[in-house]
Homo-oligomer: A and B are copies of this chain.
């Protein structure tokens, strides 16, 4: 991104940026202003149920207003050991999947007065580790993470309540919330089957982790449930990007009898596949049906719009936050919880019955 020319324009308006300042008044200033003790001010400010006369309460608030007092969360944290801050660590903020999750986390957590620190590792494990250390140093109250390299042990070592985003067998003793890739895959395949497709390909993304495996398992399960032949050529694996999807599609089209429908492990692959199919002169969905997964924004803007398996991204974020919050408050059971959220098939226009060419 360094290719952009810069144009610097310094404009000199007649104004000064910083006025010299009476720095933050403290609770003690408020106390003497209101003619009470700092303890009382603290009580009023925290607004806990402790008894303080209505009259005093008003005096304190008046003093707060008059002085423009602003609570110091740092000092408070030092004493209480609570920062009301949650770390959200994800591998790639640029992937449209995550911002939606982030929004869910933030919305939920905010209702309880927490803030979210966003950490984007860009798939760099070392960076992910740094984030963990950051969370420790800053005494964050909780961590929500989609781990890319950091181990279960490292997460434990932070001693911070943690929830895993995504269903991952290798982090089994943490709370976990993800979507039901297995069930979703079956659902998508059944959709294609019910349209009449019998020769259905699977394009998987290349990555470790259970996700791809869940899909493959579901695929095989589906085939055998319907007494369909297990043709290994119909299951291809490529890197998780547009080019990977396109390449996979070309490989499938080169087959003696190409599939009439394709399920891709995510929308990016699906869109790549669609592009390749178009280039090969195919009409979608007449000649070929394509189903994606995730329902990222782009899925609705392709031509034709992509039929896809939507994941409850926002809901995943919210639920993860809920898990964290009650762990923080000690309201969680001692045993890890796991929530698997069902996917939802969004039928758009990239699927149709196969052409009867016989």
CA distance A116 to B85 in the complex (A): 12
CA distance A1 to B336 in the complex (A): 25
Contact between A173 and B15, CB atoms less than 8 A apart: yes
Contact between A10 and B338, CB atoms less than 8 A apart: yes
CA distance A342 to B3 in the complex (A): 10
A207 in the interface (beta carbon within 8 A): no
On A, residues with C-beta under 8 Å from B are 1-13, 15-18, 21, 70-75, 77-78, 83, 85, 88, 93-94, 96, 98-100, 102-104, 106, 115-120, 122, 134, 136-139, 159, 172-173, 180, 183, 242, 271, 274-275, 278, 297-298, 300-303, 312-315, 334-342, 344
Q: Tell me which of B18, B301, B336 contacts A298 (CB under 8 A).
A: B301
- A10-B337 contact in complex given A115-B134, A301-B298, C-beta closer than 8 Å: yes
- A342-B242 contact in complex given A74-B77, A297-B96, C-beta closer than 8 Å: no
Report the 4 A-B pairs with minimum CB-CB distance, sorted nearest first. Answer: A303-B303, A118-B118, A4-B312, A298-B298
| Copies of this chain per assembly | 2
Q: Tell me which of B1, B7, B271 contacts A342 (CB under 8 A).
A: B7
- A131 — nearest CB in chain B belongs to which residue? B115
A282 → B minimal CB distance (Å): 12
Which residues of chain B are near A339, meaning CB under 8 Å?
Answer: 6-9
CA distance A20 to B6 in the complex (A): 56
Which residues of chain B are near A337, meaning CB under 8 Å?
Answer: 10
A119 → B minimal CB distance (Å): 8
